[in-house]
């Protein structure tokens, strides 16, 4: 089994190819560039460097969100196209779970991955390893970072925060949680596409045509459109 993983859900662009025993190849960048023109060349380059062709792939795994609306949509669209064209299964994995999986194996507590959602809000959830497998303790959600930190103080264990947007919320988190809050190292902040691939390797494939991103909330443009139309209807 050879699995291709694609993550474009935030600034980092990640592509990986694995089999059941090893990471064959992995490509990660963390720059503010247009994913839409970089993903397919990155996939083609990685396949070539690993002496593989698209027909060697047996599954596509994609970061399903939350994150950047445009970024999530790009990755999901490409993953669906490849799955349909190659006639191989498609699996979606939470973009937050990917971060948690990489740092939580040896941490004796919960892991809170986070992405900034603007206006003091974060996308986050709570994960923890049990018997070698990652489990969801609190489902992915969007809320004020201050409210999330307060909620976590009810836990009787430390919480490890991970994600490139930690600096935007670290002061608030520490203010609420003190030493209960732990923070991942700089080298651990990027999501690893190889982790994404292993997370999805043995999960059941999903229906390609009905597979959609998990935005958690409506895009701002969609929200404004709904509000404008509701205002019209009320007049």
Work out the pLDDT band at 221, boundaries 50, 70, 90.
very low
Are 113 and 165 in a shared domain?
Answer: yes
Task: Verify that 90 and 13 share a domain, yes or no.
Answer: yes
Spatial separation of the C-alpha atoms in residues 42 and 61, rounded to whole Å:
16
Under DSSP, the state recorded for 191 is P
Assign residue 133 the CATH number of its domain. Answer: 3.30.420.40
57 assigned to some structural domain = yes
Same domain, 66 and 110: no
Q: Which domain holds residue 125?
A: 104-183
Residue 229 has pLDDT above 80, yes or no: no
Determine what percent of the chain is predicted with pLDDT higher than 90: 89
Whether residue 83 sits in one domain with residue 19: yes
Residue 198 sits in the same domain as residue 172: no
Are both 119 and 176 inside the same structural domain?
A: yes
Condensed to tens digits (0 to 9), the pLDDT of residues 37-67 reads 999 999 999 999 999 999 999 999 999 999 9
Residue range 114-151, pLDDT digits in tens: 999 999 999 999 999 999 999 999 999 999 999 999 99
Residue 93 in contact with residue 197, Cβ under 8 Å?
no
Q: What span, in angstroms and rounded, lies between the C-alpha atoms of 154 and 171? A: 19
Q: Is the peptide bond before 66 cis (omega within 30 degrees of 0)?
A: yes
Position 217 scores a pLDDT of 77
Question: Could you give the CA distance from residue 33 to residue 3 in angstroms, rounded to a whole number?
Answer: 25
């Amino acid at each position: 089994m050879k699995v291709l993983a694609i993550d474009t859900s935030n600034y980092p662009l990640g592509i990986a190819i694995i089999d059941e025993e090893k990471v064959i190849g992995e490509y990660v960048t963390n720059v503010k560039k247009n994913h839409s023109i970089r993903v397919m060349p990155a996939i083609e380059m990685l396949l070539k460097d690993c002496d593989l062709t698209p027909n060697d792939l047996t599954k596509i795994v994609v970061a399903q969100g939350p994150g950047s609306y445009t970024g999530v949509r790009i990755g999901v669209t490409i993953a669906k196209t490849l799955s349909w064209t190659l006639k191989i299964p498609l699996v979606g994995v939470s973009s937050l779970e990917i971060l948690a999986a990489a740092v939580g194996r040896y941490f004796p507590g919960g892991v809170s991955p986070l992405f900034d959602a603007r206006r003091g809000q974060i996308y986050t959830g709570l994960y923890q390893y049990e018997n070698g497998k990652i489990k969801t303790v609190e489902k992915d959600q969007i809320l004020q970072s201050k409210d999330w930190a307060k909620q976590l103080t009810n836990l009787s264990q430390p919480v490890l925060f991970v994600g490139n947007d930690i600096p935007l919320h670290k002061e608030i988190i520490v203010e609420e949680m003190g030493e209960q809050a732990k923070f991942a190292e700089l080298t651990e902040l990027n999501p690893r596409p190889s982790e994404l691939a292993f997370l999805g390797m043995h999960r059941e494939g999903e229906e390609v045509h009905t597979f959609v991103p998990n935005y958690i909330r409506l895009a701002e443009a969609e929200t404004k459109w709904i509000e404008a139309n509701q205002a019209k209807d009320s007049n």
